[in-house]
A and B are shown apart, each in its own frame.
Chain A
């Protein structure tokens, strides 16, 4: 078989009736800016619609945390000004709530209130924030919950108490939920709280020692009643395949719960009906990074649209994993059918064990953008699927240029870093109705190149909320007249954008 032979046909997506026009960049307006007035709020790491309000959980000063982490870095100039001791600045994570009725047109950050802030803890005499960030949110009603509750997954200091799940009935007071046995202090972060068939599912995401994205063991826990701490193990460790280093993303679609792993030889995607007693039966539907191998290191995002599961990939640490020597390489998008077959939507044409795969969209990895690191978040809203990227172009300004591959260094030398940033810096947002034809919504972080990743999206009854990470504040490093210095950044701090056709927020 040659690459010119026609690929195997797959079922066309079923579009149920006419969809309203999708959202273009002009349909979006900014509803949160400069980290809600506190630029250390760098990541809108979680987002949920709960009791007619929009909730956003933040992670603080991520670039200063990155500076003191054990993760290998290749930056010769740090992008933001950081204190010598990172906890000299207030690193306590926050939860913000938007009341649409309190918004005042033209008044920045109106309608938002901070409803919760991490407490301080004493860790062997060191005062630390209990939580640095809130990395996931979900609305779920456990067996003993009187009504729907907001569940929040945490990101904690390495010398802290370990990651927890918080639970709130009112969005203002949050209690810690008893965690499963084995959830020790070494587990510092969770990015999954997923409701499915009356249970809440979670999985450890990262451990202390510079591994925020690798738990070392792909284990999933579930509970019908998290408040009572009645957790069960939902799968056999790493699905019986030791190359699975963690479960990075999960999503429910119809009768199935899907789990995407991170693995050095390429991600795997497993699914279960979660019937009977835990641990459940799981089946593998995608292996070896959908046949691409190491460059599809992990499943960074899942979404369900028109009955299909869409999976976006990524390589940790912004698309360049120096720890394992993988990348840079643009992310891919695949689509999984109910029968377990899958299509390549965005990516590189190739032969796989599932046959020849041609990108149905016509786009190569990263939507043809060599600076795309992950397809980080997807959301189905009002008949359209939206996809947001992480884009590492802005980091060129700070990276060790002497270590770049020669053709790349020559290109940047001839073209100029700042000109590249001006042309395409910032995260990208795309949309598609049928999952195959994709249109750009914003190619430059809604006009702010410091918005270099789209980490959260939430469909609401009023429109689509989009959370942009922006850790380039309060003072950002810039070069002027050959001198590098830090200056106040009026465009730093996380931003929230809202897309709507008419009315709404």
Chain B
């Protein structure tokens, strides 16, 4: 099992394309900024459109449901949950080992690919 290392936060860039992360806004007529991204919505704008009010209520209910205490975070993880979690953790370990070995290999071959000035003499 490998030791997990803290990764610099700057490297954790969003994976999905930026234009798709805010995709719901144009459907409600939200103006775009100069770089093509949706403008932030004001509370006034939100409350002026019955559709947006209905949507925001739904979103709130959904978020509450998503973050409500579940058997898992109550310490009541089911057997299926535990199996799934163990497998995902194991898979993450395998990928981390793979990354580690690739980096080791790069370190190993680096001198051969980038000869020093002394090597060039």
Please report A residues at the B interface, Cβ cutoff 8 Å: 6-7, 9-10, 12, 358-363, 370, 406-408, 410-411, 414-415, 419-420, 423-424, 436, 443
B101 within 8 A of A: yes
Q: Number of B residues contacting the other chain (C-beta, 8 Å)?
A: 25
Stretch at the interface among B12-20, B44-52, B71-79, B111-119: B12-20
Given contacts A360-B20, A361-B16, contact A411 B98 (CB under 8 A): yes
Given contacts A423-B87, A424-B87, contact A370 B98 (CB under 8 A): yes
Given contacts A370-B98, A414-B97, A424-B91, contact A362 B36 (CB under 8 A): no
CA of A423 to CA of B101, assembled, Å: 20
Return the chain A residue nearest B102 by Cβ.
A407
Please report B residues at the A interface, Cβ cutoff 8 Å: 14-20, 23, 26-27, 35-37, 87, 90-91, 93-95, 97-98, 101-102, 104-105
Chain B residues in 8 Å Cβ range of A9: 19, 36
CA of A407 to CA of B18, assembled, Å: 33
- Asked if B93 contacts A415 (CB within 8 A), the reply is yes
Return the chain B residue nearest A409 by Cβ.
B101
- Asked if B16 contacts A423 (CB within 8 A), the reply is no
Instruction: Offer 30 A-B interface pairs, CB within 8 angstroms, sorted by A.
Output: A6-B18, A6-B19, A6-B35, A6-B36, A7-B17, A7-B18, A7-B19, A9-B19, A10-B19, A12-B23, A12-B26, A358-B17, A358-B18, A359-B17, A361-B16, A362-B17, A363-B15, A407-B98, A407-B101, A407-B105, A408-B101, A410-B104, A414-B97, A414-B101, A415-B94, A419-B94, A420-B94, A424-B87, A436-B16, A436-B20
- Asked if A410 contacts B101 (CB within 8 A), the reply is yes
- 17 more contacts with CB within 8 A, not counting A358-B18, A411-B98, are A6-B19, A6-B35, A7-B18, A7-B19, A9-B36, A359-B16, A359-B17, A363-B15, A370-B95, A406-B105, A407-B105, A411-B101, A415-B94, A415-B97, A419-B90, A419-B94, A423-B94
Return the chain B residue nearest A405 by Cβ.
B105
- Asked if B98 contacts A6 (CB within 8 A), the reply is no
CA of A414 to CA of B94, assembled, Å: 9
Which 7 A-B pairs rank lowest in CB-CB distance, beginning with the nearest? A362-B15, A407-B101, A362-B16, A358-B17, A411-B98, A410-B101, A407-B102
CA of A362 to CA of B17, assembled, Å: 7
- Asked if B104 contacts A407 (CB within 8 A), the reply is yes
A426, chain B: closest CB distance, angstroms: 12
Which secondary structure characterizes the binding site on chain B? helix
CA of A66 to CA of B98, assembled, Å: 30
Chain A residues in 8 Å Cβ range of B94: 411, 415, 419-420, 423
Return the chain A residue nearest B19 by Cβ.
A9
CA of A370 to CA of B102, assembled, Å: 14
Q: Which residue of B14, B16, B37, B93 is within 8 Å of A6 (Cβ)? A: B37
CA of A84 to CA of B57, assembled, Å: 69
Chain B residues in 8 Å Cβ range of A359: 15-17
- Asked if A423 contacts B91 (CB within 8 A), the reply is yes
Return the chain A residue nearest B89 by Cβ.
A423
CA of A10 to CA of B23, assembled, Å: 11
Chain B residues in 8 Å Cβ range of A420: 94
Question: Could you say which of A9, A408, A420, A436 has the most chain B C-beta atoms within 10 Å of its C-beta?
Answer: A9
Return the chain A residue nearest B105 by Cβ.
A407
Chain A residues in 8 Å Cβ range of B15: 359, 362-363
Return the chain B residue nearest A369 by Cβ.
B91
- Asked if B90 contacts A423 (CB within 8 A), the reply is yes
Chain B residues in 8 Å Cβ range of A407: 98, 101-102, 104-105
- Asked if A360 contacts B17 (CB within 8 A), the reply is yes
B89, chain A: closest CB distance, angstroms: 9
Chain B residues in 8 Å Cβ range of A411: 94, 97-98, 101
A471, chain B: closest CB distance, angstroms: 25
Chain A residues in 8 Å Cβ range of B102: 407
Chain A residues in 8 Å Cβ range of B23: 12
B19, chain A: closest CB distance, angstroms: 5
Q: Which residue of B16, B26, B37 is within 8 Å of A360 (Cβ)? A: B16
Chain A residues in 8 Å Cβ range of B101: 406-408, 410-411, 414
Given contacts A423-B87, A423-B90, contact A408 B98 (CB under 8 A): yes
A349, chain B: closest CB distance, angstroms: 9
CA of A370 to CA of B97, assembled, Å: 13
Return the chain B residue nearest A5 by Cβ.
B35
Question: Could you say which of B17, B19, B94, B104 has the most chain A C-beta atoms within 10 Å of its C-beta?
Answer: B17
B80, chain A: closest CB distance, angstroms: 9
A126, chain B: closest CB distance, angstroms: 47
A107, chain B: closest CB distance, angstroms: 26
B78, chain A: closest CB distance, angstroms: 13
Chain B residues in 8 Å Cβ range of A424: 87, 91
CA of A332 to CA of B14, assembled, Å: 19
Chain A residues in 8 Å Cβ range of B95: 370
CA of A424 to CA of B90, assembled, Å: 9
B121, chain A: closest CB distance, angstroms: 30
Chain A residues in 8 Å Cβ range of B97: 411, 414-415
Chain A residues in 8 Å Cβ range of B17: 7, 358-360, 362
CA of A141 to CA of B20, assembled, Å: 42
CA of A251 to CA of B87, assembled, Å: 37
B56, chain A: closest CB distance, angstroms: 18
